[in-house]
Amino acid sequence: MYREETAKAYAKLIIRTGVNLQKGQLVILNAPIENAEFARLVLEEAYRAGARDVLLRYFDDKASRIRYQYASEDALTTVPAWKYTPIEEYAKAGAAYICIESDDPDAFFGIDSEKLGKGMNAEARAKKPFQQIFDKNEIQWTVVAAAGREWAKKVFPEAEEEWAVQKLWDAIYHTTRMDTPDPEKAWAEHSGRLRKYCDFLNDSGITRLHLENSLGTSLDIGLIPGAIWAGGSEKTVKGVEFEANMPTEEVFTAPHREKVDGKVCSTLPLNYQGVLIDGFWFEFQDGQVVDYGAKQGKEALDQIFQDENCRRLGEVALVPYDSLISRSGILFYSTLFDENASCHLALGSGYTSSIPGAERMSREEKEQIGLNEAYSHIDFMFGSADLKATGYTEEGREIPLFENGNWAFGA
């Protein structure tokens, strides 16, 4: 339920645990116009925590939709150089970045997918210098959710609108541990647990993974030598701890861009730029998608694969089938939530944080060691109740990681 008191506490969690705002620091706050009331609470908490100044930028899916409907392809692909300058300058000055999401999963339903794809890719290219600053963890950043009307109606179609919104707030609060007596402490414990799994994986010497289930997934993933398994809180290059995603349940690393072979079948729909892709599968050979299909939204996959490097993987993540989000039984139609309900892979860019020293590498150097780079990073879910994941070391030692969708050992 959205109550001012709980919302204030949630705003405080975002500022303290999410970006872990430092005294005197600048803040970039991106928020949906629909959640202006909540954004103001976050803004206030930022100042209360000692923010020097906050750059609040509202965005509006409905306005974006109108633009994609009427503006020419030429206009949509000509992004003025100054468009992302303010946030880029702020980020260079060390601002923490907060993004509040409440996206309508069907925001762009029915819009010409080619035009939409071209426009979005142009935006992504223009935004790249900003994106790289937080990809490299030069600043603290966090992506969090607020309940939106259209989103809530999609998640709870049977509920009356106002009730759906309240139910969605409850789900957000539950999965971000806001319903525990001390959310900050709960997050510290949760992060600690995820770190233990990472430590185990990092010490295990695993160089290859095999994933399989009864749906037809049978995939071999070679890891990049020296790649790090990460999960829970992250640290900036200056050593400030933060939570990049709230919620988060994953432990992830970087696959080698040329060492993925076999088939993977999706288990949850993927909402890509307001288009729903469902019942899809990919066949990989030497790291590249060589064949694919979908029951719904295949044309969006055609768009994604226009970027050659989106045919390759940038992330493999393990998430127990019994995670808090998975157990909620709710399909959120939002990657922030659904990726934390299920084991997933990402098409496109890998995280430089997965490879020590990669933040200083050029694109060519990254590709040489096997780290994929693209304009997008698109997560999709393949976890299931019967998923089995096995790790293999260089010497061929077999280490069971997941049995029946969950960790094969405790942390």
In the bound complex, what is the minimum distance in angstroms from residue 3's beta carbon to Zn ion? 31
How far is the C-alpha of 395 from the C-alpha of 401, rounded, in Å?
17
In the bound complex, what is the minimum distance in angstroms from residue 41's beta carbon to Zn ion? 28
Nearer to Zn ion, 148 or 350 (CB): 350
Residue 299 makes CB contacts below 8 A (sequence gap 6+) with: 113, 275
Nearer to Zn ion, 97 or 252 (CB): 252
Nearer to Zn ion, 231 or 297 (CB): 231
| Of 84-92, 132-140, 201-209, 342-350: span binding Zn ion (CB under 5 A) | 342-350
Beta bridge partner(s), residue 40: none
Identify the three-state secondary structure at position 295. Answer: coil
Nearer to Zn ion, 212 or 250 (CB): 250
Nearer to Zn ion, 88 or 250 (CB): 250
Hey, which residues between 120 and 139 contact Zn ion (CB under 5 A)? none
Q: Helix axis angle, 4-13 relative to 36-48, nearest 10°?
A: 50
Nearer to Zn ion, 96 or 318 (CB): 318
Hey, which residues between 100 and 119 contact Zn ion (CB under 5 A)? none
Nearer to Zn ion, 252 or 382 (CB): 252
How far is the C-alpha of 240 from the C-alpha of 165, rounded, in Å?
34
How far is the C-alpha of 136 from the C-alpha of 129, rounded, in Å?
11
Hey, which residues between 238 and 297 contact Zn ion (CB under 5 A)? 250, 252
Q: Is 45 one of the binding residues for Zn ion (CB under 5 A)?
A: no
Residue 279 makes CB contacts below 8 A (sequence gap 6+) with: 266, 269, 294, 295, 296
**Locate tokens 């942390």: which residue?**
411
8 A C-beta contact, residue 249 and residue 340: yes
Identify the three-state secondary structure at position 226. Answer: coil
In the bound complex, what is the minimum distance in angstroms from residue 198's beta carbon to Zn ion? 13
Hey, which residues between 308 and 327 contact Zn ion (CB under 5 A)? 315, 317
Regarding beta strands 281-285 and 288-293, do their DSSP bridges make them parallel or antiparallel, or are they unpaired? Answer: antiparallel
In the bound complex, what is the minimum distance in angstroms from residue 351's beta carbon to Zn ion? 8
The count of chain residues that interact with Zn ion, using the rule CB under 5 A, is 6
In the bound complex, what is the minimum distance in angstroms from residue 375's beta carbon to Zn ion? 15
The one-character DSSP state at 268 is S
In the bound complex, what is the minimum distance in angstroms from residue 268's beta carbon to Zn ion? 13
Hey, which residues between 344 and 403 contact Zn ion (CB under 5 A)? 346, 379
Regarding beta strands 26-32 and 96-101, do their DSSP bridges make them parallel or antiparallel, or are they unpaired? Answer: parallel
In the bound complex, what is the minimum distance in angstroms from residue 344's beta carbon to Zn ion? 6
In the bound complex, what is the minimum distance in angstroms from residue 365's beta carbon to Zn ion? 22
Nearer to Zn ion, 113 or 335 (CB): 335
| Of 20-28, 51-59, 125-133, 307-315: span binding Zn ion (CB under 5 A) | 307-315
In the bound complex, what is the minimum distance in angstroms from residue 309's beta carbon to Zn ion? 15
Nearer to Zn ion, 164 or 346 (CB): 346
Q: Where does 60-160 show beta strands of DSSP type E? A: 96-101, 141-145
Please give the order of strands across the beta sheet that includes 377-381. 230-231, 251-253, 313-318, 344-348, 377-381
247: preceding bond cis by omega (within 30 degrees): yes
Binding residues (CB under 5 A) for Zn ion: these are: 250, 252, 315, 317, 346, 379
